[in-house]
Amino acid sequence: MANRLSKIYTRTGDSGTTGLGDGTRVAKSDLRVEAMGDVDELNAVLGILLVETLPEDVRDSLLAIQHDLFDLGGELCMPGHTFMQAGRVAFLEMTLDTWNEALTPLKEFILPGGSRAAAVCHLARTVCRRAERVLHALHAQAPVTPVALQYLNRLSDLLFVLCRTLNRHAGVPDVLWNNQHKL
């Protein structure tokens, strides 16, 4: 990074616009900015998850995912530039398959919860799904790379499996949905 930010506020956004990495200005309500914000929020929730006590392989994977999400944010910030590589989707699939092998097959839907780490991971999963929806909406207006779309889809699947993995690691059962529950 050649230029470091030495001045944090610029006042250029006071009128409701923000600058993209290529120098263009867009409305802060633009879908591209919303997608960037959702990816950033997802990265922040993963940062909260990383504060928890986690298995080392989970910690390493989440840190790699945080770097990927920063790359995805860069790709969104600089239209026409590609930072995400297909190998990162393959990494998610391999990791997901590895973690899923150790889990018992699901016979019921599960509710967010169990251990604290799993609950935070469920929050990350829902933010990831929102980011994916916004990215698809953006894609309808201004094409984004197929890898970016695939990455968020795979990541939300991985986060679901990770929620279950974290509960298993903590010795806490998943919270099963009871469709017979009556108030």
Instruction: Please answer whether residues 154 and 84 qualify as being in contact, where contact means their C-beta atoms are separated by less than 8 angstroms.
Output: no
Residue closest to 109 by CA, chosen among 162, 157, 179, 182: 179
In our burial notation (b when 16+ CB lie closer than 10 A, e otherwise), range 121-139 reads bbbbbebbbbbbebbeebb
Task: Please report which confidence band the pLDDT of residue 12 belongs to, taking 50, 70 and 90 as the band edges.
Answer: low
Task: Please report which confidence band the pLDDT of residue 39 belongs to, taking 50, 70 and 90 as the band edges.
Answer: very high
pLDDT in tens, 122-170: 999 999 999 999 999 999 999 999 999 999 999 999 999 999 999 999 9
Dist. CA 140–CA 29, nearest whole Å: 16
> Tell me, what's the pLDDT at 104?
92
Residues ≥6 apart with Cβ < 8 Å to 21: 74, 77, 78, 81
Instruction: Please answer whether residues 170 and 107 qualify as being in contact, where contact means their C-beta atoms are separated by less than 8 angstroms.
Output: no
> Tell me, what's the pLDDT at 114?
95
Tokens 């929620």 correspond to what residue?
Answer: 163
Give the pairing of strands 25-27 and 17-19. Answer: antiparallel
> Tell me, what's the pLDDT at 181?
63
Dist. CA 105–CA 100, nearest whole Å: 9
Whether 2 shows a pLDDT value over 60: the answer reads: no
Dist. CA 87–CA 84, nearest whole Å: 8
pLDDT in tens, 60-93: 999 999 999 999 999 999 988 999 999 999 999 9
In sequence order, the β-bridge partners of residue 26 are 18
Q: What are phi and psi of 26, to 5 degrees?
A: -135, 160
